[in-house]
Amino acid sequence: MFIIVFQMKKRILTGITTTGTPHIGNYLGAIKPALELVAPDNESYFFLADYHALIKQTDSSEIETSVKNVALAWLSSGLDPKKSHFYRQSDIPEVHELTWILNCSAAKGLLNRAHAYKSLVAENSQAGDDDDRAINMGLFSYPVLMAADILIFNATHVPVGPDQAQHMEMARDIAGKFNHTYSNLLTLPEALIQNEISVPGIDGRKMSKSYKNIIPFLCSEKVLQKSIAKIITNSLEPGEPKDHKSCTLFQLYSFFATNEQIVNMKQSYSDGIAWGDVKKDLFSVINDEIMPIREKYFELQNKPDLLNDLFSDGAKKVRPQAQELVGKLREAVGISKIV
């Protein structure tokens, strides 16, 4: 007897909110691990969540710049649009049709429990303000738009940071409710929760735009060097033994160095290496990895047509799938041709 096992292709999908310009922390924590999932027996969908960005950003030129920089960051870091589907959320209007359909399956109580919304409510109430002060409906219903992003393409696996685990549960919940009410048309996605890697910024706290402690990577060699020079160390002199464990420079170094280099660096710390020399070595390992990315970034930066063409090709490739699913969903809910 033969047993034939069909291995379903994994369909990996993830979205990147287009706010700000990606820094080394984003590169190590999100871009690199997501691109490592691209493999010949997976399908991968990467998209720019530009409608999600509107929740927090009302400056239109910031949105425009960020879409460009985020796209260039991914492309320069190795995203190959021939091997992955790469598109803008806003180029797939069916996402919004699905969002509405899902809104009608999503319990308001479920969304009341979303961390991002709850923590803002808590802040307001602590300040003695109205609970919903400065909270827009975009923020409140953010998880429904995210569910639509995922469900519209029948994604099976969604790599996200631990902060998105709850949104993934909600996506499954909402999809399950739809399937139960109408018919099994939506694929319940699995979250691939990526280990939170804590990349320190120049002041030793987690690297974040809001702490103003970032190290950029889409920048010239000089700017990279300058920002590494700003990393805060203690005042131990050259020759004095140093502890690598709690050291920002060492933590950053270990993200880019080989195992052998890391072992040697630990030894140099005990031998009393000067901070200036650690910074030189840190610059060199980061620069070695970033150099080809930087070159590609500067090359692509002057080709806006290329980006526009990529977006339009990306949408052309995936939109028919979205249209097909929405067609079935409309029929399932009773919005179709009258017979």
Interface with ligand TRP includes 52 (CB under 6 A)? yes
H or E stretch at 248: helix 248-256
Contact 40, 74 (CB under 8 A): no
**CA–CA dist 300, 320 (Å, integer):** 28
Closest-CA residue to 308 (of 77, 80, 20, 68): 68
- Give min distance, CB of 199 to ligand TRP, in A: 16
Interface with ligand TRP includes 149 (CB under 6 A)? yes
Interface with ligand TRP includes 95 (CB under 6 A)? no
The phi and psi torsions of 168 (rounded to 5 degrees) equal: -70, -40
**CB nearer to ligand TRP: pick between 160 and 265:** 160
Interface with ligand TRP includes 148 (CB under 6 A)? no
**CA–CA dist 247, 238 (Å, integer):** 15
**CB nearer to ligand TRP: pick between 14 and 213:** 14
- Give min distance, CB of 281 to ligand TRP, in A: 32
The phi and psi torsions of 139 (rounded to 5 degrees) equal: -65, -40
Interface with ligand TRP includes 164 (CB under 6 A)? yes
Sheet order of strands, 42-49 included = 85-88, 42-49, 10-17, 157-160, 190-193
**CA–CA dist 176, 91 (Å, integer):** 26
Contact 329, 101 (CB under 8 A): yes
**CA–CA dist 200, 207 (Å, integer):** 5
Residue nearest to ligand TRP as judged by C-beta position: 15
Interface with ligand TRP includes 99 (CB under 6 A)? no
Interface with ligand TRP includes 26 (CB under 6 A)? no
Interface with ligand TRP includes 141 (CB under 6 A)? no
**CB nearer to ligand TRP: pick between 13 and 70:** 13
- Give min distance, CB of 225 to ligand TRP, in A: 30
Which one of residues 49, 224, 286, 318 is an interface residue with ligand TRP (CB under 6 A)? 49
Interface with ligand TRP includes 17 (CB under 6 A)? yes
Neighbours of 107 (CB within 10 A): 12
**CB nearer to ligand TRP: pick between 15 and 22:** 15
**CB nearer to ligand TRP: pick between 171 and 228:** 171
**CB nearer to ligand TRP: pick between 34 and 228:** 34
Beta strands in 95-199, from DSSP E residues, in sequence order: 157-160, 190-193
Q: Would you give the binding string for ligand TRP spanning residues 194-233, x where CB under 6 A is met?
A: ----------------------------------------
**CB nearer to ligand TRP: pick between 48 and 219:** 48
The first and second tokens of residue 144, run together, are 């429904």
Q: Which residues are near ligand TRP by CB under 6 A?
A: 13-15, 17, 49, 52, 146, 149-150, 158, 160, 164
